[in-house]
């Protein structure tokens, strides 16, 4: 699949996949910045796309930065719609409670996964069809063993 890509900053590398078969292409920061503990910031990447209709780009945290430094994407995954032509920016959050994170221009800050998406046609109904799960929501399936008291 081919995606039109416009670099808004000639000094940055375009998004790229680190290894063959990777799902996420790395996005880079176009600015130097420090994120203090608990701080969030909207970070520009210098990238604009023209995605084909029926596709969207989803912006995910990079696992190494998340594990080693507590850096995450606030609204993970962030969504880039096919009709959007502006600069992709990423809202980053430093979840570490004590240590600032320093990032330099060109550092990889997030990964972008491009996926096919469907457009739904919504039908208003008075009642929904039955299912095994029903209305069971948050925590309804358990999911962890209780620790002994």
Annotated binding residues for substrate, written as ranges, equal 62-64, 75, 79-81
Parallel, antiparallel, or unpaired for β 4-7 and 78-80? unpaired
Q: Which residues are annotated as a binding site?
A: 62-64, 75, 79-81
Distances (CA, A) of 99 to 61, 70, 83, 119, 136: 18, 9, 38, 42, 39
Kindly report the number of other CB atoms within 10 A of residue 57's CB atom: 23
């Amino acid at each position: 699949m081919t995606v039109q890509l416009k670099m808004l900053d000639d000094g940055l590398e375009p998004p790229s996949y680190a290894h063959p078969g990777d799902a996420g292409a790395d996005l880079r920061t176009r600015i130097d910045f420090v994120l203090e503990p608990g701080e969030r910031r909207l970070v520009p990447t210098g990238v604009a796309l023209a995605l084909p209709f029926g596709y969207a780009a989803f912006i995910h945290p990079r696992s190494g930065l998340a594990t080693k430094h507590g850096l995450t994407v606030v609204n993970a995954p962030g969504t880039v719609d096919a009709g959007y032509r502006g600069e992709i920016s990423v809202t980053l959050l430093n979840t570490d409670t004590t240590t600032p994170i320093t990032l330099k221009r060109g550092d990889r800050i997030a990964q972008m996964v491009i996926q096919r998406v469907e457009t739904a046609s919504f039908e208003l109904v008075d009642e929904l069809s039955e299912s095994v799960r029903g209305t069971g929501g948050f925590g309804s399936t358990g999911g962890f063993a209780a620790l002994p008291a």
